[in-house]
Structure 1
Amino acid sequence: MRLNVLQHVSDEGPGAILNWANDHQATVTIYHPNDFGLLPTVDETDLLVVLGSPASPNDDDQWIKDERALIKGMLTAKKPVFGACFGAQQISLILGGRVQDAPAKEVGWLEVTRQSDRIAGLPEVATPLHWHQQMFTIPEGTDLLYSSKYLQEQGFVYQDLAIGLQFHLEPLELNVREMCANDGAYANGSVLNQTAEEIVNHGVPADNQAVMNRLLDYLMKENPENV
């Protein structure tokens, strides 16, 4: 399996996704399209992962448009895509949704509640890391997957081909420390009222890896020809 990751900022890496990839003997390549302007092709990709970014999908940068063209090509070819935060917003735009300012900035740990039984084996409640102040709207033809106290549109699944999450299940302990060390001031003004130190000290819930694994397993099980 060829897993290609689009990483947009140095302190927001694939984390737990690499653990899953190692368990599945996947060949992983990490691209940095905003730095180098390069992307994999659809033919080179069995599973595409699109990570977070301080940019907005509404920005006019060419790499953002090129990235959406790749995601659209993957979906047209019936190949799976997983998006976190910015990545999920990119998928939403492609499917006819919108990206806009969220009602409240969410930075820190906050429970999300499962809203759909479409993906078996997911817990009713998970506690991921939130790191955003924009949001996607749920496109037509998708199932709402998660909601939180402050935002209904926290996750969606599209035709067994794409999963988009506004939050982050992928950070491991090292990733959280890295994010808070380098961008901890971003927590200022969050409705969650957590400092960078509190976010680090909270620790990564043990279940987050299992939830991440289940979501990626679902995408690949539903698309076995790509394995």
Structure 2
Amino acid sequence: MRLAILMTNTDESDFAQARPKDGEKFATLVKEQRPAWDCEVFAVKDGEFPEDIQAFDGAMITGSPASVHDDAAWVSQLFDLIREMDAAQLPVFGACFGHQAIALALGGAVGRNPEGWVHGFALTDSVGALPFGERPAQVGLYASHIEQVTELPEGAEVVASGPGCRVGGYLKGRHIFTTQYHPEMTDGFIADLVEFTADYVGEEVTAAARESLKNTADRDVFGRQIVQFFEWARDGKSF
């Protein structure tokens, strides 16, 4: 399997420079499950896009501190690419910003969470059955968002929900699978991120996030879901 990782993370701080970029984090997540798969990273936030997305078996769209409502040229170009991939039914997985961007590009809506930040560890509820793999009733994932999908694109269905977030993940056809959360984040990274963002998100949110990190994410569980999605989408396999 050959995947294009469309990196949207705009953080160029010293904090970000000292740690693996999102492209590397998502590639690692995939290769933990399927070591032979090839992942090619495109920094779409810098205007770097694949010349031919159809040359890939699928794509992954990462998270970002940017908003899907930003008027940056690369966001508009990404929306065009999402619509192209949807029309061609190319398998796409989106996380956080990617989850929101797919929804907005395809006619859904994204708005501010009325309950504020979801930051740290979040226990998500599985909604219905996935056609490509078994999963537990609840999956723990790391989170850092204040915007979320408020209206699904036509043809999509909710497959997960989380704290204050009805659309925690959705599936559209056989070719789109998303999560509002961050399966690529490691235990160490989220702990560091909570401290790095403390002044930005505020004392109350940070204290709650620190307490939540007494729990750890189900990285392996969700990593399997991602690769099984691509296998099901491309090869029609049932699990």
**Interval of TM-score (by shorter of Structure 1 and Structure 2):** 0.7 to 0.9
Is 1:13 the counterpart of 2:25? The answer is: no
Alignment CA distance shift 1:51-1:185 (3 Å): farther
Which TM-score applies when normalising by structure 2? 0.81
Taking the aligned partners of 2:185 and 2:48, their CA distance within structure 1 comes to: 24
Alignment CA distance shift 1:198-1:108 (3 Å): same
Shift of 1:202: 3.1
Alignment CA distance shift 1:59-1:16 (3 Å): closer
Consecutive unaligned residues of structure 1, counting only runs of 5 or more, are none
Q: Aligned match of 2:62 in 46, 51, 71? A: 51
Residue type at the aligned position of 2:69: N
SS for the counterpart of 1:171 is coil
Shift of 1:81: 0.5
Contact 1:173 1:203 in 2 (8 A): no
Taking the aligned partners of 1:55 and 1:48, their CA distance within structure 2 comes to: 20
Contact 1:106 1:190 in 2 (8 A): no
Is 1:158 the counterpart of 2:169? The answer is: no
Question: How do residues 1-227 of structure 1 correspond to structure 2 at under 5 angstroms?
Answer: 1-9=1-9, 11=16, 13-14=22-23, 15=25, 17-21=27-31, 23-34=34-45, 36-40=46-50, 41-104=52-115, 105-119=117-131, 120-136=133-149, 137-180=151-194, 182-188=196-202, 193-195=207-209, 197-198=210-211, 202=214, 204-205=216-217, 207-224=218-235
Shift of 1:172: 1.7
SS for the counterpart of 1:43 is helix
Off by >4 Å, runs of 4+ in structure 1: 189-193
Alignment CA distance shift 1:175-1:149 (3 Å): closer
Taking the aligned partners of 1:202 and 1:170, their CA distance within structure 2 comes to: 18
Q: Taking every aligned residue pair, what percent have the same amino acid on both sides?
A: 23
Per-residue Cα deviation, 1:146-194 (whole angstroms, up to 9, x for no partner): 1123221111001021112111122123432453354344442666852
Per-residue Cα deviation, 1:1-45 (whole angstroms, up to 9, x for no partner): 2211122335462536524236241221222222x3111131232
Taking the aligned partners of 2:141 and 2:225, their CA distance within structure 1 comes to: 15
Deviating more after overlay: 182-191 vs 6-15: 182-191
Which TM-score applies when normalising by structure 1? 0.85
Contact 1:145 1:155 in 2 (8 A): yes
Shift of 1:83: 0.5
